[in-house]
Chain A
Amino acid sequence: MNLLTESGRIKQGDYTRVIYTWIKDGKWHPSQYKEAIAFLNEQHASNPSSRAALSLLGYCYYFTQDFANATQCYEQLVQLYPDVEHYKLNYAQCLYQSCMYEEAMRATFQFESNSNYKTQILKLQAAIKYGEEDMSAAKTLVEQISNEDPDKEVNLGCILFKESRLDESLAKFVNAIQMQGYKPDLSYNIALCYYQLKQYPSAMKHIGDIIERGIREHPELSVGLTTEGIEVRSVGNTITLHETALVEAFNLKAAIEYQLKNYDAANEALTDMPPRAEEELDAVTLHNQALISMDNDPAEGFEKLQFLIQQNPFPPETFANLLLLYCKYEYFDLAADVMAENAHFTYKYLTPYLYEFLDALITQQTSPEDAYRKFDEMATKHSDILRKLMKQMQDAKQAQNDDSVKKYANEYENTLELYIPILMSQAKIYWDLEYYEQVEKVFRKSVEFCSDHDTWKLNVAHVLFMQENKFKEATGFYEPLVKKSYENILNVNAMVLANLCVSYIMTGQNEDAEELMRKIEKEEEQLAYSSPDKKIYHLCTVNLVIGTLYCSKGNYEFGISRIIKSLEPYSKKLGTDTWFYAKRCFLALLENLAKQMIVIRDSVLDECLQFLAHCEEYGTEVKAIIEPPLELETLNPGKNTVTYEARLLKSLLLQIMQ
């Protein structure tokens, strides 16, 4: 009998004091609202037409942002008390908060023309139109607000923002904050304008203000405690939380850090946020969590994004991000399905550029020729724009107009960032077919724009390298990439270091190769000293690449000994990738031995057996293949280990030796 025990806790005659105290304290401790809600629900159940129960329930639900339940309360109150106007207003407001814009608008039409709530109705209608992204209607309504009302200035600022008139919007918000003094929501709006204008330090300053005040005035919101590893209870979605603008500010901070590629700082901004349970999270926070978790836990990231695009509404970025991530993980079929099933979203949420790009990527799976043509059209369009901007930049320089130079330089940068993915996807079609000369041609056409771009230089180097007769030229492209980070050589991609060593060896610069390898070895030793548990594969990769080179040229004794050496010590060097390259060489060795094309000394074969036994020993926890994040059927976990494969290779080798 839950009913008697809950209500029985409060003495009769004490109801008013206890319930209103709960409601008062609820602003700081949402659990108090929950107490009130539990009690009021019992009263409502035993007397469904109790005005007091419904009104207070509606209030508590509203202030815990449970708008669906609040809507129901006010709907009943409107039916029971059709003369009480503020119930109608609250009902309409709850519908608006639930994003049921059409229903909310209909509800605002239910007032007498001489209503006392004219201004509130006007503002609510404007908010509904703003929510529906109907900016001209929203503007017409906002302009009817009295000039003395500071909200008018703010709301005009919001509309200007949505129309991408950022400077004007910013001016409105700055003006409003001068009129009214500090307000967290205004500070957020200003920060948001700076974010869109890419003036991140100014945005960060305002975000800092919001956070600092939030911490000072609301210590109960537990800002930063989760990051410090302290287990804290959810602070709930109270209106108080909403009024501090902390959730908005922390998401904006995460967004800025993400744009600056400071992913750890972005993650920290999200964990610094006042703690809430996962089911309480708003769509923006959930989206940003998904984006940041992609590197560590792609399966979870996908799950969140897939959940979000079934919600109404979801952050507009969700759709494009989900599609791009599907493509990144090569789930082209899933991307194609989502696009086909949500044609209306493709128009609403994808820029023409993104639509064309995704379309070409997906086409590539069925028709590389068509995809190549599509990428080529896009590339041509973008190189025209780049050329035009370059000309405008030169003209502005001659006219010594610094502002214009800066503006065109900025646009040029942005366009180049759009051009690079097109160019690389186009080149990759030939790369996959191993038409390296064609890839080189594609790059030669783009040299005028990209010669300073690191990704471009890297891919050019790879293409020269793979042709096997242009090691000198490849050195010329790899070397600057390595030299640039010579002091932190482990920050350079291991494959770049390896290919540079091979290029040195192939052009007779063995000393340079040896020096580079010594440098890597030294840095790895230092790292092993400071963080002994960290796996580091750089020198190992270099040896694997060199070993493979010798094996492929038929010098198995030297090549295989390099491979064997590369994986020592096994506890640190045995990984999925390194095993993959090592086993390729062993398979080639086995094949050549079986065909009796080569003869290997017994001592070397014994070393091989020993090596495979070591891999067997250390490889129980190392997967042979990393499974993609969304695969339903998993590989046999016993077979998907280095131990299993090493044992297989060993038995093959033993057979051949007999």
Chain B
Amino acid sequence: EKEQLKLIKPQFETPLPNLQPAVFPPIFRGLPKPHLELFDLDEAFSSVQTRLIQVANKCTDEDLEYYI
């Protein structure tokens, strides 16, 4: 473990092959995107909402388990 004091050994340079940064591949064209469908959401969703409210109104304390 112990050795005689010698000159300070400089660091021997061992360069590694260069690291390579990443780049995105060229951007491919013409892919279909979903288009925005138009719905009457007040109609589509209100029925659900109304139904829920109706169910909720019908419930009494005894129906709590069913309601949840």
Identify which of residues 315-336 in chain A touch chain B, using a CB-to-CB cut-off of 8 Å.
315-318, 320-321, 324-325, 327-328
A154–B7 CB distance below 8 A = no
Which of B5, B11, B13, B23 makes the CB contact (< 8 A) with A551? B5
Q: Does B19 contact A (CB under 8 A)?
A: yes
Considering the complex, give the chain A residue whose CB is closest to the CB of B12: A431
Q: How large is the interface on A (under 10, 10 to 19, 20 to 34, 35 or more residues)?
A: 35 or more
Which of B30, B32, B44 makes the CB contact (< 8 A) with A90? B32
Q: Does B6 contact A (CB under 8 A)?
A: yes
Identify which of residues 431-478 in chain A touch chain B, using a CB-to-CB cut-off of 8 Å.
431, 455, 458-459, 462, 465-466, 468
Report the minimum CB–CB distance from A223 to chain B (whole Å).
Answer: 17
Q: Does A162 contact B (CB under 8 A)?
A: yes
A254–B21 CB distance below 8 A = yes
B5–A588 CB distance below 8 A = yes
B24–A56 CB distance below 8 A = no
Report the minimum CB–CB distance from B65 to chain A (whole Å).
Answer: 16
Which of B14, B27, B46 makes the CB contact (< 8 A) with A15? B46
Which of A52, A96, A117, A455 makes the CB contact (< 8 A) with B13? A455
B34–A245 CB distance below 8 A = no
B34–A59 CB distance below 8 A = yes
B12–A151 CB distance below 8 A = no
Segment touching B, from A337-345, A420-428, A609-617, A638-646: A420-428
On chain A, the residues within 8 Å of B21 by CB distance are: 251, 254-255, 258-259, 266, 287-288, 291, 317
Known: A15-B46, A19-B41, A251-B22. A149 touches B30 (CB 8 A): yes
B32–A93 CB distance below 8 A = yes
Known: A158-B25, A192-B23, A459-B12. A548 touches B17 (CB 8 A): no
Complex-state Cα separation, A512 to B25, whole angstroms? 55
A46–B52 CB distance below 8 A = yes
On chain B, the residues within 8 Å of A466 by CB distance are: 7, 9-10
Identify which of residues 402-436 in chain A touch chain B, using a CB-to-CB cut-off of 8 Å.
417-418, 420-421, 424-425, 427-428, 431
Considering the complex, give the chain A residue whose CB is closest to the CB of B17: A421
A131-161 CB mask vs B (1 if < 8 Å, else 0) is 0000000000000010001110011011001
Q: How large is the interface on B (under 10, 10 to 19, 20 to 34, 35 or more residues)?
A: 35 or more
Considering the complex, give the chain A residue whose CB is closest to the CB of B22: A315
Q: Does A226 contact B (CB under 8 A)?
A: no
Identify which of residues 1-54 in chain B touch chain A, using a CB-to-CB cut-off of 8 Å.
2, 4-42, 44-46, 48-49, 52
Known: A7-B49, A252-B23, A545-B8. A424 touches B13 (CB 8 A): yes
Complex-state Cα separation, A585 to B8, whole angstroms? 10
Considering the complex, give the chain B residue whose CB is closest to the CB of A23: B36
B24–A544 CB distance below 8 A = no
On chain B, the residues within 8 Å of A251 by CB distance are: 21-24
Q: Does A75 contact B (CB under 8 A)?
A: no
Which of A50, A188, A189 makes the CB contact (< 8 A) with B48? A50
Q: Does A174 contact B (CB under 8 A)?
A: no
Segment touching B, from A119-127, A379-387, A393-401, A623-631: A119-127
B15–A424 CB distance below 8 A = yes
Which of B8, B12, B18, B32 makes the CB contact (< 8 A) with A428? B12
On chain A, the residues within 8 Å of B13 by CB distance are: 424, 455, 458-459
Complex-state Cα separation, A283 to B23, whole angstroms? 10
Complex-state Cα separation, A89 to B10, whole angstroms? 64
Complex-state Cα separation, A126 to B31, whole angstroms? 10
Q: Does A30 contact B (CB under 8 A)?
A: no
* Interface residues, chain B, with chain A CB atoms under 8 Å away: 2, 4-42, 44-46, 48-49, 52
The 6 closest A-B pairs by CB, nearest first: A315-B22, A151-B30, A588-B5, A255-B21, A52-B39, A15-B41
List 18 other contacts, CB 8 Å, given A93-B33, A255-B21: A19-B41, A23-B36, A53-B44, A55-B37, A58-B34, A93-B34, A117-B32, A123-B29, A123-B32, A150-B29, A185-B27, A255-B22, A284-B23, A320-B20, A431-B12, A455-B13, A462-B12, A466-B9
